[in-house]
């Protein structure tokens, strides 16, 4: 046997089902081979290893993990490793071949001839998995199927629009509060990640949002992001014994969440942060990126330092765009530095755009009906300069709505900014305030005042939030809100009630009091001190009709949880941050809420609680309608507000008389300015009901398809996983049996995964291992998954589903089968060949949905006749497993025919079908590339920048290059089945 070298590829002659292995280690007389297809390793004695070298031959397709592939034209050997050479000087090392590389055709037929056939059920599972995988990869909604989200139209349109270009998106997501910017960003990431367009992603957030983002990415998108913080870095340092081996913490994982505060806390952390490279960066609370009036925030400097080095960039902000015009421009400059170069020019362009917007103001942009050209002609003033653009030759090649969208893209900010508003989207409930004025307990109030004076740094928490509990746990029970709460709960025994307060210590204190008064089973708690798994269980219990009627949550209860089954919200205290108040209400006030939101605010008369209540109610109007921006007014009136809360007895009256009317006037003026500044065309450009309907209808069709469910149950059962009905209707419990090796089934949770998830929340080892390692409860019903956070939503894009597809197709199982076909109408042998067409188009182009892999099946009889039209009969027939006759000359000769001439004939038939498929794909690829060119051409023409533009030249070249690439797919044999016809 030849000398082993690390990186060489081998197959096992005794266990061909292991697939293709790679030499990992050579130890004296032994060699260690990894078989990635089955996630197993083998140790062989070098002198007697039953291994066969796996080398590609001329004409075969070489493909690496980056998706690069080419036909092998020559091979050279270097230090025992094969170097595959392709056209144009392309090279690929043997060690870089993709791990899923399948067995060669001769190996597949050798298995059959030797009689090493799989059970027909294994073959069918492989065939089904291959077909479903190809179908999923070609789906127009690939990347949008898997997120655990409701099918909200504007979110799906935004995701589709963001991912439709061949370039990664650089966008500002600026929907109003409550419209789901976090979900939209997550959906965009998931789509790009699922299609292989991004590998490394950074989510940069304020400290207060890090847990929310971790939870959202795991719960909605089934992915564990790594939180890089002080604890994570200490863990890396503890694992490194040599200072020379210290690594960049931002380069150890591909998907990272980090806080702005942590990055800026230490120079060394900042240096490591700036060295890391990212495919996609998501920045939440982007309105903190301030660069205006000679002031530049640290947050702006930080993000601006990496903006040019990240291919994709998403800035999230709910703040109305016109409130910080110069900072808004500078954020746009981050996204598109070529277009947005000069602030003065930007203001002039905005002024011109507003004139055009006025000309288009009569268009029915708020309607869900498609816009037609008559609408456009009737709405435009006769002297509008826009009319000359209507006469352009290529204007009528698109719909009127698309034409308007291109106007917004070209002359406004629609190419980089998306903004949906509650008014344009619709479907939101109304709000009703129940102000609960409470009589003060004089003795208790005196104690509160004393504690506040003694601890001025925490005076607000003591005066308003009830943090007195940390100093006087027993006396705190005298807080006026507690008897009110007990009385309230008795009157709302049948209502699901969400109570939110700012501090987890207050949650704990309330839980202690309620446990004594109403019993521990009457409520659940929900705080940042709990692990993600524990919070999921609490949320599930609260959502259960038979579960507790009350949830007591700290501010983390304002994260992106779906509590819209509840209609009563108790704001036990009111924070100074107005955004937090809106986030709290937003847990119930969301699209799909069926009833009016009842907001209960208890406050003690004559206390600091009353001051801040009136600030929010009469001043900002926060309880009646969404609060657009209270931060600016808080800065303006900070001193007056804080002074009134510190001395309510002497200053409340004056505060109500003098300050509240001013705040009310400023707030109303702010609302009017925001409404006046509404860019209805931008809002029109941010949604398209017709496109959304096509997307959501297709997703519903995919959701209803039972084939994936059947395949997963059959494949996992065969692998030793027990599948049983769960306690919730439509749910299934997948439990790995004792014979299943940990990690052998991709996507099945393990103790390691649960530990990693829990450790990110600072849990103990007991908590980390709780929750059933090696088991998963899931449902294929989107509605059920939305109602039960603890149940996984299973779709093509869930890790377990992807694991099943890999399990059924990547290993050597199911490669060959031999069956008896009773009542076939003839007595002969037939061979079924299953081919897969694999395009050579890079994932980065974003064309997989129109030029993905496809499966072609061919059926040949022993005389060389194409019998493929009978495959439908084969599918419906009852096949019985059979053994391949050994040492029967006639059979052996026929099998050799099927392996050579018959295979060549089948491949020729498949290749003819492939040419047709390739031409159709190439046409679609050309059309999409042409559409991208035309869209940019329109955009630059409207701006007067189309002449000799290098961007246009590159896009024009792309049309021809991508069409040519689509016309050159590769074809490979995936599996074969011998049919003994009777």
Is pLDDT above 50 for 761? no
Is pLDDT above 70 for 767? no
Q: Higher pLDDT residue, 416 or 396? A: 416
Give the C-alpha separation, 837 to 813, whole Å.
20
Report for 347-351, 372-376, 475-479, 503-507: range of highest mean pLDDT: 503-507
Work out the number of other CB atoms within 10 angstroms of the CB of residue 914.
19
- Between strands 816-821 and 970-981, the pairing is parallel
Burial class (CB in 10 A: 0-12, 13-18, 19+), 560: buried
- Token digits of residue 737: 């049996």
pLDDT at 855: 95
Domains and CATH numbers, the chain: 9-104 (2.30.30.140), 426-676 (3.40.50.300), 815-981 (no CATH)
pLDDT at 966: 82
pLDDT at 753: 45
Is pLDDT above 60 for 145? yes
CA nearest to 797, candidates 99, 143, 262 = 143
CA nearest to 272, candidates 318, 237, 223 = 237
Longest dimension (CA), the chain: 109
How much is the average pLDDT of 614-623?
A: 90
pLDDT at 424: 78
Is pLDDT above 60 for 828? yes
Is pLDDT above 90 for 614? yes
Is pLDDT above 80 for 648? yes
pLDDT at 255: 94
pLDDT at 768: 35
pLDDT at 756: 47
Of 13-22, 210-219, 303-312, 852-861, the poorest mean pLDDT is in: 13-22
Is pLDDT above 60 for 1? no
Is pLDDT above 50 for 764? no
What's the pLDDT tens digit per position in 267-320?
999 999 999 999 999 999 898 899 988 889 999 999 999 998 999 999 998 776
Is pLDDT above 60 for 766? no
N-terminal to C-terminal alpha carbon distance within the chain: 45
Is pLDDT above 50 for 612? yes
Q: For the chain, how many residues are written?
A: 982
CA nearest to 355, candidates 395, 384, 324, 375 = 384
Q: What is the residue-averaged pLDDT of the chain?
A: 84
Q: Collect all residues with Cβ–Cβ distance below 8 Å to 737 and sequence separation of at least 6.
A: 720, 721, 722
Q: Higher pLDDT residue, 538 or 404? A: 538
Q: How many helices (H) and strands (E) does the chain have?
A: 36, 34
pLDDT at 479: 86
Is pLDDT above 50 for 754? no
Is pLDDT above 90 for 774? no
DSSP assignment of 128-186, as one string? Answer: HHHHHHHHHHT-TTTTTSSS-----HHHHHHHHHHHSSSSPPEEEE-PPTTS-HHHHHH
Residue at token pair 């377990």: 800
pLDDT at 226: 93
Report percent pLDDT > 70 for the chain: 90
Give the C-alpha separation, 124 to 437, whole Å.
69
What's the pLDDT tens digit per position in 353-377?
888 777 777 777 666 677 777 777 7
What's the pLDDT tens digit per position in 75-85?
999 988 999 99
- Token digits of residue 315: 């800035």
How much is the average pLDDT of 926-950?
A: 78
CA nearest to 618, candidates 688, 668, 570 = 668
DSSP assignment of 212-268, as one string? Answer: HHHHHHHHTT----EE-SHHHHHHHHHT--SGGG---GGGS-SEEEEEHHHHTT-HH
Supply the angle between the helices 181-194 and 210-219 in degrees, to the nearest 10: 50
CB 132 within 8 A of CB 707: yes
What's the pLDDT tens digit per position in 146-195?
999 999 999 999 999 999 888 899 999 988 877 888 999 999 999 999 98
Q: Higher pLDDT residue, 342 or 763? A: 342
pLDDT at 201: 96
Of 115-119, 621-625, 810-814, the poorest mean pLDDT is in: 810-814
DSSP single-letter state for residue 771:
T
Q: Per-residue confidence at 771, pLDDT binned at 50, 70, 90?
A: very low
CB 785 within 8 A of CB 791: yes
3-state DSSP assignment of residue 619: helix
Give the C-alpha separation, 649 to 606, whole Å.
6
pLDDT at 244: 59
Supply the angle between the helices 400-411 and 343-359 in degrees, to the nearest 10: 160
Give the C-alpha separation, 890 to 896, whole Å.
10
Report percent pLDDT > 90 for the chain: 36
How much is the average pLDDT of 663-681?
A: 77
Is pLDDT above 60 for 772? no
Q: Per-residue confidence at 245, pLDDT binned at 50, 70, 90?
A: low
Is pLDDT above 90 for 940? no
pLDDT at 353: 80
CB 314 within 8 A of CB 283: yes
């Amino acid at each position: 046997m030849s000398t082993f070298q690390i990186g060489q590829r081998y197959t096992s002659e005794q266990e061909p089902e292991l697939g293709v292995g790679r030499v990992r280690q050579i130890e004296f007389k032994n060699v260690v081979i990894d078989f990635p297809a089955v996630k197993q390793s083998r140790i062989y004695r070098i002198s007697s290893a039953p291994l066969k070298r796996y080398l590609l031959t001329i004409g075969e397709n070489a493909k690496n993990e980056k998706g690069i592939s080419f036909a092998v034209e020559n091979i050279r050997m270097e230090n025992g490793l094969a170097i595959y050479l392709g056209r144009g000087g392309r090279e690929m090392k043997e060690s870089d071949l993709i791990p899923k590389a399948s067995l060669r055709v001769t190996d597949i037929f050798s298995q059959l001839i030797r009689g090493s056939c799989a059970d027909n059920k294994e073959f069918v599972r492989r065939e089904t998995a291959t077909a479903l995988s190809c179908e999923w990869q070609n789906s127009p909604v690939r990347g949008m199927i898997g997120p655990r989200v409701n099918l909200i139209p504007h979110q799906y349109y935004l995701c589709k629009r963001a991912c439709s270009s061949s370039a990664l998106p650089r966008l500002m997501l600026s929907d109003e509060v409550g419209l789901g910017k976090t979900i939209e960003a997550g959906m965009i990431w998931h789509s790009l990640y699922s299609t292989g367009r991004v590998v490394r992603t950074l989510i940069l957030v304020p400290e207060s949002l890090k847990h929310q983002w971790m939870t959202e990415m795991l719960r909605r998108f089934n992915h564990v992001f790594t939180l890089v913080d002080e604890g994570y870095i200490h863990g890396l340092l503890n694992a490194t014994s040599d200072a020379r081996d210290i690594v960049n913490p931002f380069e150890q994982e591909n998907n990272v969440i980090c806080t702005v505060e942590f990055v800026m806390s230490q120079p060394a952390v900042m240096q490591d942060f700036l060295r890391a490279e990212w495919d996609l960066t998501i920045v939440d609370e982007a309105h903190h990126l301030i660069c205006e009036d000679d002031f530049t925030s640290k947050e702006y400097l930080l993000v601006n330092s990496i903006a040019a080095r990240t291919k994709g960039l998403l800035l999230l902000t709910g703040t109305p765009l016109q409130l910080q015009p110069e900072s808004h421009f500078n954020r746009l400059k981050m996204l598109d530095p070529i277009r947005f170069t000069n602030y003065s020019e930007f203001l002039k362009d905005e002024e011109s755009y507003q004139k055009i917007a006025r000309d288009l103001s009569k268009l029915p942009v708020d309607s869900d009906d498609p816009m037609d050209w008559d609408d456009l002609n009737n709405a435009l003033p006769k002297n509008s300069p826009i009319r000359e653009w209507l006469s352009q030759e290529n204007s009528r090649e698109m719909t009127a709505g698309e034409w308007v969208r291109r106007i917004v893209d070209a002359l406004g900010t629609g190419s980089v900014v998306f903004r949906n508003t509650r008014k344009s989207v619709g479907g939101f409930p109304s709000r009703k305030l129940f102000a609960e004025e409470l009589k003060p307990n004089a003795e208790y109030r005196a104690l509160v005042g004393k504690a506040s004076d003694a601890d001025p740094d925490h005076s607000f928490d003591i005066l308003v939030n009830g943090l007195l509990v940390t100093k006087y746990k027993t006396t705190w029970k005298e807080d006026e809100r507690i008897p009110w709460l007990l009385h309230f709960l008795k009157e709302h025994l049948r209502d699901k009630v969400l109570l939110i307060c700012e501090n987890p210590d207050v949650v704990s204190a309330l839980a202690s009091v309620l446990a004594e008064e109403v019993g521990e089973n009457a409520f659940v708690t929900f705080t940042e001190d709990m692990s993600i798994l524990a919070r999921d269980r609490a949320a599930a219990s609260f959502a259960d009709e038979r579960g507790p009627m009350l949830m007591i949550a700290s501010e983390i209860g304002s994260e992106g949880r779906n509590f819209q089954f509840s209609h009563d919200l108790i704001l036990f205290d009111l924070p100074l941050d107005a955004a937090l108040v809106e986030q709290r209400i937003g847990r119930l006030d969301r699209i799909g809420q069926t009833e009016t939101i009842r907001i209960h605010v208890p406050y003690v008369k004559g206390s600091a609680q009353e001051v801040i209540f009136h600030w929010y109610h009469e001043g900002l109007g926060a309880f009646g309608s969404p609060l657009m921006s209270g931060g600016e007014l808080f800065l303006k009136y900070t001193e007056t507000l804080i002074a009134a809360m510190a001395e309510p007895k002497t200053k409340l009256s004056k505060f109500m008389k003098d300050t509240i009317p001013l705040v009310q006037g400023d707030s109303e003026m702010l609302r009017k300015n925001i409404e006046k500044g509404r860019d209805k065309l931008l809002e029109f450009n941010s949604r398209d009901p017709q496109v959304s309907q096509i997307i959501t209808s297709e997703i519903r069709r995919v959701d209803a398809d039972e084939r994936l469910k059947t395949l997963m149950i059959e494949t996992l059962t065969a692998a030793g996983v027990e599948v049983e009905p769960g306690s919730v209707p439509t749910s299934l419990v997948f439990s790995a049996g004792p014979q299943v090796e940990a990690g052998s089934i991709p996507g099945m949770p393990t103790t390691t995964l649960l530990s990693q998830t829990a450790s990110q929340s600072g849990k103990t080892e007991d908590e980390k291992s709780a929750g059933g390692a090696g088991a998963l409860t899931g449902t294929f019903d989107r509605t059920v998954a939305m109602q039960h956070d603890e149940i996984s939503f299973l779709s093509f894009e869930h890790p377990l589903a992807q694991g099943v597809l890999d399990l059924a197709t990547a290993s050597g199982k199911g490669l060959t089968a031999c069956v008896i076909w009773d009542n076939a109408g003839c007595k002969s042998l037939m061979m079924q060949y299953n081919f897969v067409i694999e395009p050579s188009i890079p994932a980065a182009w974003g064309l997989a949905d129109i030029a993905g892999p496809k499966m072609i099946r061919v059926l040949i009889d022993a005389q060389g006749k194409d019998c493929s039209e009978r495959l439908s009969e084969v599918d419906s027939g009852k096949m019985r497993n059979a053994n391949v006759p050994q040492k029967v000359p006639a059979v052996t000769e026929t099998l050799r025919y099927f392996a050579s001439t018959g295979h060549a004939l089948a491949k020729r038939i498949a290749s003819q079908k492939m040419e047709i498929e390739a031409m159709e794909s190439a046409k679609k690829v050309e059309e999409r590339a042409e559409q991208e060119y035309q869209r940019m051409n329109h955009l630059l023409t409207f701006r007067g920048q189309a002449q000799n533009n290098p961007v246009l030249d590159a896009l024009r070249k792309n049309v021809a290059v991508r069409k040519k690439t689509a016309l050159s797919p590769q074809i490979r044999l995936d599996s074969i089945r011998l049919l003994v016809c009777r």
